[in-house]
Every structure is written in structure tokens, then in C-alpha cells.
Structure 1
Amino acid sequence: MNNLHLSLTEFRNESRLLKEARSLIRAQVFARIYVAALHTQGLAVDEAFGAGISAHRFALATRKYSKNLIFQLLKYLEYCIRVFFYYRNKNIACVNVHSLGLLPLGMVLKYVWQASLVYDAHELETETNSSKGFRQRLGKWLERKLIKHVDMTIVVSESIADWYANEYGIGRPPVVLNAPNQRALKKNNHFREQLGIRDDQIILLYQGGLMAGRGVHLILDAFKARHDHKVVAVFMGYGALQQDIQDAAALQQNIFFYPAVAPQLVLEYTASADLGISLIENTCLSYFYCMPNKLFEYAMAGLPVLVSNMKDMSVLVSKNNMGAVISDFSATGISWAIDDFLTQDLTAMKANAYRVACEHAWEVQEQKMLAAYQAIGLGSRHIQGASQ
């Protein structure tokens, strides 16, 4: 009995999907897990990710065409056809879709292959910045029509679970947070050693996607205006705003850029900082309800965190005294919040952050996920069949 995960990404750093797959293999829910992704130059067509897990990246003939609606539909249709024929004889008992756009394909495969269907919603996709006007109406109509036919929906925050239950009148979906595996608390010094940061300077780390809506320019402006170098900002990641950060780093002695590292090394580098910052901007409901993985990565490395006042994120930080919530969302407000942060008991915050990270670690999320699979008939009673 095998499991197929559908992704419209190139499957480079899909840490959540890989954690789920490895947990399902370890628990013997499935014998093999396949991932269908998209190919691009420089990536292997077929790649193994440990025992029982493999990805196939489809090199679509239509991918070179423009991004207008007609060609996008052709690309989607080619992907659907190739997925169907490639996996049709691989004993797929469960199909997981990792985006709203793949729900129609997942629904077809569910009924043609008589498989279970899991909708793994990584965000509140119909309430994102890119989902506006006709696209949003179409997305909500599609989701409303199809979600009642899936066997299980998994979401990434408590507020998103409430939204789905209220919006579509379905049972409240299980919440599986995007948290890292538990890790011993261990300090590293990679940034100071590789970037030339002094031992007496405090490192405020931003890690993750360097894109709009994450407060990147606000942090840059705050540090450009600071007159001392007691606190320095390190940006680690990749994205559209990388050049802006590198330009600022070339001119400012308190701003540094470090390229993204492999997922398995992220926490090693996170533990080289002193504080973490996650400034998701309240530009859409999906962001307001988010629980970003970097929040838990900071905490697992024992970093007190400075966060914006997004609902679930700010409640977690305030309730557990593991950092501070920014109320004045401006460059001046951020700078003031950093200075005020340094007057707090950071030792206690560090201990609280690590405790919260362990309480919500992937080992805990894994059990919630496996219980949800068992509830739809894909748990312990299928373990024996998983070896077939």
C-alpha cells in the first residue's frame, strides 16, 4: 500500500512534506511514498530521500510557454495526464495534495484509483495576497465544492482550523504545526566566525523567504537608522529581496547577508544567533492566522523572539513569555522594540522559548498526524498490509 504526494513545486526544500513522509514510513502506514513534482535544469529527474521515499520531477513540454491563462491550463493538464499514467500501476492507496490547485486532480485520482484523499493546506490559500477578485472567488468556489469530498484536511494553525470549520461547515481539521524535530540546546558560532561579527555584538536573525510581506524593508530601515552597532541584523535565506539586503550590507556595518543553507543545517546556523525576528505583515488573512516554521526554529535554538502582532503567533509568544510583540509596525517602532527587548530577562525568555519548542516539536505533531490518519482508516490496522 503506497502513498502519492502531489506538489506543483520543484521539491527543493519541502521540509514539511519530507517530515510527514518520513513519519508515515517509520510508522509503517505506507510501504512507499512517492512525490510528484516539477523538473527544472540542475535538478535530478528522480531522487531518493531515504528508505521508501522518492520524488519524480516531471519535465513538462509546456512549461516553456508563457504564463497566460491558456498556457497555464495546458501545463496543468499535461501534469495531470503524466501523473496519472506514471503512477497508475503503483498501488496508490492514498493521495495527498499540497495546494488548492491540485484538489481537482486529487479528486479524480481518489475515485479512479479508489484511494483516500488528504488535503494538506500549507496556508489559507484563498485568503493570500495573490488571491484577489475573480481568482479568489474561483478558488473559494472550488474549495467549497471539493473539500467535503476529501477524507481529511490538515492545517497549520488553530485559527485556520476554525476558519475552515466555520467557512465550509466541515468538521474541524486536525492542526499539524510546521515545527522542527526536537534538538538538544547547543550554541554555535557560525555567523561570528564567517561574517566577522564581534563577540560583544548581539545578533538579531531573520531567516526564511526574503520577500515582500515579511517586514524585510522595515528591518533594513531600522538598522540603517541605528547609531550604534551593539545589535546587528543577519538575514539568512533567499528570495526577491536578496539584492536589496546585499546592497544594504555593503554600506552598513550592522547588516549582514548569509545565503540559505540546506534544511538539515538550518538549526545549526539558527543557534549561532542571539535573538530571532519574524515580522509577518498583516496584509491578508492567511498571514494574520499564520504560525511560521521559523518561529519554532528560533525557539528550538533557544532564541527569544521578536514578532509582529499576528493572531496565533503573538498569543504563543506573549502567553509563554518567550519574546516580545511589536505594536508599532514601523522602522522606528522596530528599533525601539529591539532596545526595549534588551532590557528584559532574556535568559528566562530563552528557557521558555526552548520549552515551548519542545512541547510543540515535530515528534508531538507527528503523533497528531498519525492519529488523524488512523481516524480515516490508514493507521495501525493497515500496518501489516504496508509491507506488501
Structure 2
Amino acid sequence: MAKKICMVVAYHPFLDARIFKKEAKSLQKKGYRVTMIVPKKNGHLFDIDGTPFKKQFRSKVFTHEGIKIVTYNAENSRRPLNKVLNDEQMWERQGFHNPLTQLAIQEDADIYHTHEYLSLFAGVGIKRLMKKKKGKDVKLIYDSHELTPDPLHPRNSEEKRKLLKQQLLVMLQDVDYVIAVSESIKAWYQSHMPGLPVEVIYNSPPLNKNQQPKSFHSDRLSVGYEGNIDDRKGSQNKIIHISEICAAKTDFQFKIIGGKQHGSSVVIPNHLRRTITLTGWVDYHTIPQHMQDVDIGWIDLSDVERSLNQDYSLPNKFFSYLNSGVPVVTNKCQEMERFIRQHKCGYVIDKTEPTPQDYADVFLYLHQHRNTLQEMSQNGRKAMEKIYSWEKMEKRLFNIYHWLSVN
């Protein structure tokens, strides 16, 4: 009989690219029976941009693309899940009796795959209660999309970061495998728990099979940005200022694939309406089509000096650009810089906080050196083909599950 897998989700949208579209669908394709326990907010599931689904996905339990979806109200789980910060002796009595943990236990799965700090806490409860009440040993995966707590971020006080880390190390003793999203995050876990198995599965998309080699012969320069527009990444003000500088020098377009979260919108000044274009949020599988006319992909992470997560980041958009043969220009971040230097697939500005003028200068320079852009494009695409595409990451995922099944 095929092993049963349960994805345990505390706050990601259920159609999340990594969780649903890649990991869950890949495991289903491999023959595993996959269930996802996912949160509703205010009674609704929500899309990747935060938009609530009001006419779709209304049932508490349903099947979507062959994946069983079990929903719960996030509001009812928040308080007990936050008991993770209490003494461990209080966990079973006060923390584990939450809808996320209890619904996951009812699935009676063989492997539980968690995706956030709080869903890891739910997973610890699942593992302990399954053993105690059913005598069943289940496997627990922690898919660490980022480091929580971030050792540098000022959002939490030093005292709270210390407590969060202390509780994380306690929870990791119940974990059978950690999945990280970059080599730096993997190294962090290995330095704290050397005996814990850790594998890197990058946030890379399926290889775009229809990708044609890019030609950089046009007089127009097109810079693209994929993802959320907010204060930490994809600053709206920087996009406006970059566009003003570049448009004054050449035929220029700034293309935004994505935008603001639900309830907000990107405001484009009248004088840039023809310069800055918005696709809005698009279907995950159509992103390569929207990248066809993009020459350079932009990444700007604004909190690098105050966030180890950003310094260690290899975001989805990074691999989306390379998958479409789009060279990347970014600020100075340890993990992206290492990757770009290794594969010669982009340009790293030697500043953690470049100005719009800094970015514009690099864009215009590369526009004048199109042979360099061509080489970067080819190098990035080759790296995806040989090493980093989801098809390669999928094999790593299958190896983890096979190892857990036989050990």
C-alpha cells in the first residue's frame, strides 16, 4: 500500500507554489496518498495574493487536483499553537489540543510534512500523541522555508529570539528530516544539530521546456520584477525612480509580474503609465510566458543587514528569472552573490542598500553590453537545466521520502 503523507500548514495559502504545486503534486505523481491540512481565515481559504476564495473551496473537506484538502479555522489554532513558548511540560496539556494537530492525527498518515515554526509545533504534537495514543511511530519533516527565529531581525526582542531558538532546538529533537531552501540555512541547522539529516530543496520551478534562447538585439530595455510589492522587497518607490532614470536615457519598460497583496494596489504616476506595466497575479505555470520580453530580472532585499533570512535567501523569483534565461541584478546578499559568482548568471551590486540610481546605472550598462547579457542568460539557463530545475529537486524530495520509509 502506498504511504500516506500529510502536509501540515499553519499560515501559507493552500495553493502555495512550493507546498501544493510542487511538493504535494510531485509526491502524488510518485504514488503517495497526499492530504493537506490548511488554514481558513475568517472562514475562507485564500489565494497566493491574500484574496479570499468566496465562491470556491467552501467545503471543510474536498479534493483538488487529486489532493485531499482538510480545512480548519486559523483563529481557533492560534492561541494553543503559541503555547510553544511555554515550558515543554505544558505542551501536551495546553498546546497540542488545537484543530491543526487534531485533524492531522485523524488522517493517520505515515509521514507528516510541516512548513512553518508553528506547524512544526503541531507536528511535534502529532508525533508524540500518535505514539502515545495509537502506538504508531510516524516520521516528521520540517520544511524550513526560512530561519525562525531570524537571529538578526529586530522584530522580536533579543530575549524572545533566544526563547524561540531554545524551543526550536527542543522541537528538532522530534524531527526526522529537515528540508532547507539554501546551503546557508542547511549549514545553520547542521551547526546546531550535527546528527540531524538536512537536504536543500531550492524554490525552483519546473523547467520551461519551450524556452528559446534569448536575443538581446532590441533597442528597448525591459526590466522585470516578479512577486510581492512591499517595503522589504520590490519597493514601489524604487521601481518608479528606476523607471524615471532609465526612461530618460533609452526606450525602457519595467514589467511587474505580481503586485500588492489583496486590498492594496500599485499606484503608477501618470507620466509612467506607458513605462511601467502590470500583469497582476498570474497562474504559476504561465510565468515563463510573461518573462519572454524581459531582459533583466530585478531583486532588491532591503533588510539584509538586519535579517539573516534575506542574506541567506534564494527566492522563487531568482529561479524564475534563470528558468527563462533572464539574468539577475540584485543587491549584495550572501547566498545570491555566491550563486551568481559561481554560475556567472547576473550582476551583484556591491552594496546591501543600493539606490535607484545604482540599479539604473547597472541596467543601462548591461543594455550597452548585450553580449554580456547574452552570456549571463545562457549560463543561468544551463544551470537550471543541469542542476536546479524542479525536476532535479523532485528527485531529492523522493530520496528523502524513500529514506524515511525504509529507516
TM-score of the superposition, structure 1-length normalised? 0.83
Which residue of structure 2 aligns with residue 103 of structure 1? 120
1:182 equivalent in alignment to 2:207? yes
Task: State the alpha-carbon separation in 2 of the partners of residues 85 and 208 from structure 1.
Answer: 34
Listed as ranges, the gaps of 5+ residues in structure 1 are 64-68, 189-198, 380-388
Task: State the alpha-carbon separation in 2 of the partners of residues 222 and 147 from structure 1.
Answer: 44
Amino acid paired to 2:71:
R
Which residue of structure 2 aligns with residue 300 of structure 1? 323
Task: State the alpha-carbon separation in 1 of the partners of residues 148 and 398 from structure 2.
Answer: 24
**Kept after mapping to 1: 8 A contact 2:224/2:298:** yes
Offset, 1:234: 1.4
Offset, 1:236: 1.9
What RMSD, in angstroms, separates the aligned Cα atoms of the two structures?
3.1
Task: State the alpha-carbon separation in 1 of the partners of residues 124 and 81 from structure 2.
Answer: 20
CA-to-partner distance for each residue in 1:65-103, whole Å, 9 max, x for gaps? xxxx969859x9899532344344433111111101222
1:202 equivalent in alignment to 2:221? yes
Which residue of structure 2 aligns with residue 214 of structure 1? 233
Task: Report sequence identity in percent.
Answer: 18
**Kept after mapping to 1: 8 A contact 2:81/2:118:** no
Task: State the alpha-carbon separation in 2 of the partners of residues 249 and 118 from structure 1.
Answer: 50
Distance 1:22 1:285, change over 3 A: same
Which residue of structure 1 aligns with residue 292 of structure 2? 271
Which residue of structure 1 aligns with residue 350 of structure 2? 327
Task: State the alpha-carbon separation in 2 of the partners of residues 315 and 10 from structure 1.
Answer: 28
1:132 equivalent in alignment to 2:153? no
SS at match of 1:11: coil
1:112 equivalent in alignment to 2:115? no
Task: State the alpha-carbon separation in 1 of the partners of residues 35 and 113 from structure 2.
Answer: 10
For residues 353-364 of structure 1, the aligned pairs below 5 Å read 353-359=380-386, 360-364=388-392
Match of 1:340 among 357, 365, 377: 365
What is the number of residues matched between the two proteins?
362
Task: State the alpha-carbon separation in 1 of the partners of residues 390 and 171 from structure 2.
Answer: 29
Amino acid paired to 1:269:
H
Offset, 1:366: 1.0
Task: State the alpha-carbon separation in 1 of the partners of residues 278 and 27 from structure 2.
Answer: 36
Task: State the alpha-carbon separation in 2 of the partners of residues 89 and 119 from structure 1.
Answer: 20
Distance 1:249 1:257, change over 3 A: farther
Amino acid paired to 1:350:
S
Task: State the alpha-carbon separation in 1 of the partners of residues 24 and 356 from structure 2.
Answer: 41
Task: State the alpha-carbon separation in 1 of the partners of residues 128 and 81 from structure 2.
Answer: 25
Match of 1:22 among 22, 25, 30: 25
CA-to-partner distance for each residue in 1:132-184, whole Å, 9 max, x for gaps? 21442232111111112201110000011011111344446110111001112
Which residue of structure 2 aligns with residue 382 of structure 1? none
SS at match of 2:200: coil
1:368 equivalent in alignment to 2:386? no
Offset, 1:249: 6.2
